[in-house]
Structure 1
């Protein structure tokens, strides 16, 4: 039975149990997006697959998430965020076991697709749940915890994977999810609240879901194909198909009272501006985090352990600043906090691009701290604004758009790194950092422009 929901957030200790559920679920879902990267060489050898084929172990998971995220967030608005989250957890646990038992690349890729759908269910409603878990006056703190988990899990994925692989088989990258998932499921059944405002009058539109999957799938495929130098004819075909599907998709959404792609929410200026800053910031983050290991290892000659340690100050700084930002949102405008954070983030990125030819470890560390601190100061207030600027019964749609913006930004960033390395060779990291700084600077300007909008209080 669902715990009773207070008029303004859950009472303690139910609140702590509910937020722990969110933390465990999102940690697993985000980590599994990056954790398999480190194990790809080992997995490809054991499953007799080529390196190019083994990349689908990562791609299948990411594509499954991005094509289903908005559909699942819409179901959350219809059926309840609690139910979608619980089903997602159960599916994630079962498919993690499926991944670990896979004996061929085809089997593992299929398991990763199913695991991606489970992860999408968790990501699609997590911030919508936080909105009803926390009292309105403390919502910024809840968003800070969520931002912290996503940022640290994304950055820590390779380190966690390396630690597991140093003592166990690659199968344990997935088996570790089973005990953690069962604990999270027990908490979910006991503590998660249900949303009282549901859009039951709106039916789930299957054609919209299919067009949504095709649109985002084609978008990611075209970005990846272009950056990796695939046939121009193939990429052009994908772009043409993307435009055609997108035209029919948007037209259909505009005719619906409650669309699957929340174009109605995009008409809220502060919502659309905040989404724009989110896409730019995560694109900048991925440009840096994907390109820097190549620079540290191939140019500076650091080994894998040293590379991991030099990247660690970024998530550590984010860990410190995100909770502080969550409290500051109670006193200052999110546009101001975001603008300052993104400016600091941009400064750190440009300073990394201007590293001396033979930098000391400290030269790298303090710049990484600057990037992580700026990112942490921006992310929590921005997520708070995205969620609270939407009506209460559309929190699922807003949560889905927040996750989509993050994944879209990360996909763009990773694709741009591949493109820049193809264009500039060993100077690809330098170009990536300069472009990341430009994206962050643009996002800072957009964020500051939000100060002319009314502060979201709904």
Structure 2
């Protein structure tokens, strides 16, 4: 094996350990804050509506920072950006633990989000350099396993910590883990070639305006806020987006990877990713309202009924990654998305008074399909890009996920405004339809793969 084609063992294992530790922390922090919001709001004397910014600030700053951080990784090294992101995330976690007001906690969450973007943006690019090409699917499958497990156990971890300690400890536990991960990263992470080009700050600003205003505008429409304000935000996002795209056309290594979007299989993989995560969120956001509002189940029971989906995804993801090293991802992804669509259709056809088992096996089918799709799709997005553009591919991978999740969640809000509680059925059927369309798009990729 050539030295440049992946890391030798045991360095590969140490490198994946630091990647895993940072990824778990970043994903967990997106999940545990939701559970702790009521406690945090009461402790800092904030209203429930205001406290939402503890979650929103983190998600929003990650979204607008992913592509700039990925571009910085290409210019100055993925290893360096990862280590800086990890250090910022650890400091932000300490600041969160020491916060005593909503304002300071929100500011600390912004810092955390910048660090998390540094970690997530180059995560896939680092895995591409850690594993040899013929084992890339395996590495991506491990990543998907970590994300799935972290998402599934996030609420449980938060509840466990809150049962024995106050909410600042939700963030304080990241500090020692972050320091250990940083020490391992310094000794084990691979070094990649750099472009030597200067970072394009104007493109970064345009990127922030485009994605930031797009997400806040969509979310505002879903929340029923001022139509004039939200339409203005979306209009400014459109103008900034057009300016951003035009600027990227003249750049060799653009921040928004227009060059990669010209590659048919990369473009189709991005589209299927956005659709799949949109379909997932249509179900994730609407189902708790069905379980609690229509079936009268408790929050604990709702959490347990939601768990089979991410848990099955986590179990299937490594096997799907292994399969993607041997079979076309378009085929695997298409089968997975059709399976997910079938699971959503079965959820839409639940009996009037379903048992727990009725729900669990349907959720597991959705998770099975999503797991079979995710790892092969991520592998294709990374491997279809030139090696020197791994950062742009990694950034787009994470951006597509967040864009799909945000759009799906906003669609649920819009549907509730139109259909009220009947919106749950509409959202699930819509999710099945979107997943079905994404499956067809996935099959189109087979002819582009050798």
Report the Cα offset of residue 149 of structure 1: 1.8
Report the Cα offset of residue 427 of structure 1: 2.1
Contact 1:21–1:187 under 8 Å retained in 2: yes
Q: For 1:301-337, what per-residue CA distance to the aligned partner results, in whole angstroms no more than 9, with x for missing partners?
A: 2212222221221122112211111111122110000
Residue 144 (structure 1) aligns with: 141
Pick from 293, 302, 307 the counterpart of residue 307 of structure 1: 302
Report the Cα offset of residue 392 of structure 1: 0.5
The answer to whether the aligner puts 1:446 opposite 2:441 as a matched pair is: yes
Q: Which shifted more, 266-275 or 288-297?
A: 288-297
The answer to whether the aligner puts 1:118 opposite 2:115 as a matched pair is: yes
1:15-414 alignment to 2 at 5 Å? 15-195=12-192, 197-200=193-196, 202-414=197-409
Report the Cα offset of residue 129 of structure 1: 0.3
Matches of 1:411 and 1:317, distance apart in 2: 23
Report the number of matched residues.
Answer: 449
TM-score (norm 2): 0.97
Residue 10 (structure 1) aligns with: 7
Matches of 1:241 and 1:274, distance apart in 2: 28
Cα separation, partners in 2 of 1:163 and 1:422, compared to 1, 3 Å:
farther
Matches of 1:424 and 1:209, distance apart in 2: 39
Report the Cα offset of residue 158 of structure 1: 2.6
Contact 1:159–1:308 under 8 Å retained in 2: no
Matches of 1:379 and 1:78, distance apart in 2: 28
Matches of 2:223 and 2:303, distance apart in 1: 26
Matches of 1:127 and 1:389, distance apart in 2: 13
Q: For 1:360-409, what per-residue CA distance to the aligned partner results, in whole angstroms no more than 9, with x for missing partners?
A: 11101100110111111000000000000000110001000000001111
Contact 2:72–2:81 under 8 Å retained in 1: yes
Q: Runs of at least 4 residues of structure 1 off by over 6 A? A: none
Matches of 1:428 and 1:151, distance apart in 2: 27
Q: For 1:384-439, what per-residue CA distance to the aligned partner results, in whole angstroms no more than 9, with x for missing partners?
A: 00000000110001000000001111111111122222222222222221111111
Cα separation, partners in 2 of 1:295 and 1:160, compared to 1, 3 Å:
farther
TM-score (norm 1): 0.96
Segments of 5+ residues of structure 2 without an aligned counterpart are none
